A = this chain, B = another copy of it.
Amino acid sequence: MLDVAKIRADFPILTVESYPDVPLVFLDSAASSQKPTAVLEAMDTYLRTYNANVHRGIYRLSEDATNAYEAARAKVARFINAQDAAEVIFVRNATEGFNLVAYSWGEANISAGDEILLTEMEHHANIVPWQLLAQRKGAVVRYVPFDENGVLDLSNLAELLTERTKIFSFTAVSNVFGTINPVKQLIAAAKAVGAMTMIDAAQAVPHMPIDVQDFDCDFLAFSGHKMCGPTGIGVLYGKRELLEAMPPFMGGGDMIRRVTLEKSTWNDLPWKFEAGTPSIAEGIGLGATVDYLTHVGMAEIHAYEQYLTHYALEALSEVPGLKVWGPPASQKAGVAAFTLEKLHPHDIAELLDKDGIAVRAGHHCAMPLHKKLGLAATTRASFYLYTTPAEIDRLVEGLHRVRQIFRL
């Protein structure tokens, strides 16, 4: 099991007070995680000692920066077990990953009447880019429904996933229900009808071992800031032969091989998809992030979060009128989105904040999911490797006080 006390010492922010004498209880890691010292220092060292633009600078600083930036890519490739570092495209965030595929692969491969299959539990990042693509092309977006437990209902999958389906893009882990979806089974089903697959791993890569070769997915996207890493950097993984065949997304420096007044030709992978000066400090920071997580151990992190989730669901069940949405703890990642009688999540979150407890209230960028539940918003507590059972206890106490204030 993780030594949580030791891990907490790696995160400087965890000693901060929300308000004078009110220690911070940070339960919003699904929105954005905290960062360990090792990551902050990797970026700081770059900025203070070898800051320079990357690629083709023939001086020591630039060579060091290029080496560190490309080493980070290789680390990420190893972390998700990509065959080749060229399959790791650095983007701003998971969202840009979906947009890149929807523009580049989508423009070249989607025609009127084609179908794009998503699920009803997707984050907007995995809905809106496809809707925009479908609008441009006259294609159709369809959705796999979820059941009353927040689990995908696959009983009609054969009607939704057909030879008209050009791509099936779905999340590995729901950011509201916490549901861990059967990724390999869904990919196999997509392959059976010849559909491409894209995995939203924004809530998966930070929390469990992920192996893109084992998944055998075509594309997969995630964000640095949710996995103890920097903002401004994320990853699009794509199979090499697909990326090779795709036209570029953005144009500019670094992504070209040759530019003339008439036309341009493209650089090799992965740079073909990285236009302009990249997020250098952030890429280097992501390399340190992957080192940190690997050192702790992704299997250990996952196991610990499973424990926390069980603990949390049991503890929350003691709050009268509270309902946690989604499946039971055994099928769930460290996310508990709940409602408390008719109280508005904004009121709950604001009152919890006065106790130093940071939770998120809203639709968590999953409006279709909430609409289906008949809710405008939920309150969400989410956990990570630095979360303790004592913090969950504080959440439960806070919720009891919210009930009192509202005279429930």
Contact = CB atoms under 8 A, between A and B. Distances in A.
Contacts of A361: 58
B59 A251 contact: no
Interface in A70-96: 92-96
A48 B93 CA distance: 21
Interface residues of A, number: 93
A31 B225 CA distance: 26
A276 B59 contact: no
Given A58-B349, A253-B123, A353-B60, A131 B49 contact: no
A359 interface: yes
B48 A12 contact: yes
A50 B52 CA distance: 28
A58 to B, nearest CB: 4
Interface in A234-262: 248-256, 258-261
Interface of A: 12-13, 16, 18-19, 24, 26, 28, 31-32, 34-35, 40, 44, 47-53, 56-62, 92-96, 98-99, 102-103, 120, 123-125, 127-129, 131-132, 135, 141, 143, 223, 225, 230-233, 248-256, 258-261, 263-264, 275-282, 346, 349-350, 352-353, 357-362, 365, 367-368, 371
Contact of A96 (B59, B123, B250, B352): B250
Consensus secondary structure, chain A interface = mixed
Contacts of A232: 92, 230-233, 278-282
A91 to B, nearest CB: 9
Contacts of A264: 124, 127-128, 131
A360 B58 CA distance: 7
